[in-house]
């Protein structure tokens, strides 16, 4: 269905997702890692819309969650997938742990010594046994934004790999805990496969040592983090140019990089891709309110703001911005694409070469399927956008646009 028709039917700002693209991305991982027992556990934080979770769950995905709220989303979206959940995060609360134990999830990725004791206490209280993997930091540098690098010893995530055997021995004293795996995640939006291979090699060595120590290590969680190219729109199986590999090539190279370490051990591999499955399957449609000149600069002001898509403001992230309808205007302009939020950081693009644009034109901010709606807020008391899932010629409204009634519903005057 054409984007302009969707915008006219559902209004703007509007998130639009391709169901076909998401399934195809998941299938790339499932095919590339078919050489070993494996489960793709989609990172829910990337895009937690119920319809997206149901689509991926029905296609065989498990889920990587980081909160009790994400657990409940998986429960409501696709109940059978509860047994394919890994629960990560450094600050799990008692109610979240209890809910996950009650759901009999696959694995807790434990991130501290204190969490070992807490998990054991809650499992004993509920008279169940908790399966866990210790998340270790292999101290492998991943060249990415510092906010999304997670695998070094100075980061808040996980524990030093050198302490792992000691902590597994400590956990073995708890009768309500079962060491079932070992976990690693070195960061997000990583373009090179070399850091993944280096991290996995160290974790495989640890898994072998843990088995020698008597632990029944059945799962190896390699995390996620495979990056995408935000400067070009790609199609499955095709490369935009000789320098940029296609998504299929990226996943194939990723699997090939992990294979040598995996060939050294018989184990069930868990993978946690998020962004790679959904980012390039989504776009944010927004309509131009006006084009203004100020201090020698041109500003294209849209009806979407940083509350709808915060990645450019938060990370200085690049997103391609394209007109939905091909412009017949001959002139080009260099402009900042900005929103109506009362912040100078409210922008989608800066000093970007664009075709001539006018008030009322519809533009698309591309590759917005990950960390778009999931990080959206009501800043400036702005209702969050609607979301639409497109499959073939059909479109489905999967989240209605918020209203002012929604925004004020939880507030009370004294």
Q: Where exactly are the structural domains of the chain? A: 89-271, 280-397
Q: Which helix (H) or strand (E) holds 202?
A: helix 194-212
Catalytically active residues, by annotation: 342
Q: Name which of 370, 281, 270 is nearest 63 in CA terms.
A: 270
Q: Are 399 and 324 in contact (CB under 8 A)?
A: no
For residue 405, how many C-alpha atoms fall within 13 Å in the half-sphere facing its CB?
Answer: 1
Residue 233, pLDDT score: 52
pTM summary value: 0.93
Q: CATH code for 280-397?
A: 2.40.37.10
CA distance 401 to 355: 30
Residue 259, pLDDT score: 97
Q: What is the pLDDT along the chain (414 residues), one digit of tens a residue?
A: 699 999 999 999 999 999 999 999 999 999 999 999 999 999 999 999 999 999 999 999 999 999 999 999 999 999 999 999 999 999 999 999 999 999 999 999 999 999 999 999 999 999 999 999 999 998 775 554 444 444 444 455 689 999 999 999 999 999 999 999 999 998 888 988 999 999 999 999 999 999 999 999 999 999 999 999 998 654 443 444 446 789 999 999 999 999 999 999 999 999 999 999 999 999 999 999 999 999 889 999 999 999 999 999 998 999 999 999 876 666 888 999 999 999 999 999 999 999 999 999 999 999 999 999 999 999 999 999 999 999 988 999 999 999 999 999 999 999
CATH number, domain 89-271, options 3.20.20.10, 3.30.300.30, 3.40.50.720, 3.30.420.40: 3.20.20.10
Q: Both tokens of residue 88? A: 């990560």
Strands (E), 211-267: 219-221
Q: Which helix (H) or strand (E) holds 114?
A: helix 113-125
Contacts 24+ apart (CB under 8 A), 403-410: 407/378, 407/381, 407/383
For the chain, first and last CA: distance in Å? 48
CA distance 263 to 261: 5
């Amino acid at each position: 269905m054409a984007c302009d028709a969707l915008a006219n039917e559902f209004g703007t700002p509007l998130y639009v997702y391709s169901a076909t693209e998401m399934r195809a991305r998941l299938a790339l991982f499932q095919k590339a890692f078919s050489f070993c027992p494996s489960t793709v556990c989609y990172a829910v934080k990337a895009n937690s819309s119920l319809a997206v979770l149901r689509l991926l769950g029905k296609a065989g995905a498990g889920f990587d969650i980081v909160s009790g709220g994400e657990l409940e989303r998986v429960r409501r979206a696709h109940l059978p997938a509860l047994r394919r959940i890994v629960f990560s995060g450094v600050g799990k609360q008692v109610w979240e742990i209890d809910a996950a134990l009650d759901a009999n999830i696959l694995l807790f990725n434990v991130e501290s010594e204190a969490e070992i004791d807490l998990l054991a206490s809650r499992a004993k209280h509920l008279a169940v046994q908790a399966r866990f993997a210790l998340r270790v930091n292999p101290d492998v540098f991943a060249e990415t934004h510092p906010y999304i690098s997670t695998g070094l010893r100075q980061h808040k995530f996980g524990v030093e790999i050198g302490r792992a055997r000691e902590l597994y021995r400590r956990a073995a004293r708890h009768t309500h805990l079962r060491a079932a795996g070992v976990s690693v995640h070195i960061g997000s939006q990583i373009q090179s496969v070399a850091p993944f291979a280096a991290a996995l090699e160290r974790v495989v060595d640890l898994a072998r040592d843990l088995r020698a120590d008597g632990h029944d290590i059945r799962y190896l969680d390699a995390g996620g983090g495979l990056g995408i190219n935000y400067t070009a729109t790609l199609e499955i199986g095709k490369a935009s140019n000789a320098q940029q590999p296609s998504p299929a090539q990226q996943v194939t190279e990723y699997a090939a990089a992990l294979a040598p370490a995996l060939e050294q051990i018989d184990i069930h591999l868990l993978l946690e891709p998020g962004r790679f499955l959904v980012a390039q399957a989504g776009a944010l449609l927004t309509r131009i309110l006006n084009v203004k000149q100020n201090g020698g600069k041109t500003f294209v002001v849209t009806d979407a703001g940083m509350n709808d898509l915060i990645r450019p403001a938060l990370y200085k992230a690049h997103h391609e911005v394209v007109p939905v309808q091909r412009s017949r205007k001959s002139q080009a302009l260099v402009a900042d694409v900005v929103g109506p939020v009362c912040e100078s950081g409210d922008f989608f693009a800066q000093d970007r070469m664009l075709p001539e644009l006018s008030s009322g034109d519809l533009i698309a901010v591309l590759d917005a399927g990950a960390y778009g709606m999931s990080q959206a807020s009501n800043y400036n008391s702005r209702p969050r956008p609607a979301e639409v899932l497109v499959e073939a010629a059909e479109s489905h409204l999967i989240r209605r646009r918020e209203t002012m009634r929604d925004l004020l519903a939880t507030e009370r005057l004294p």
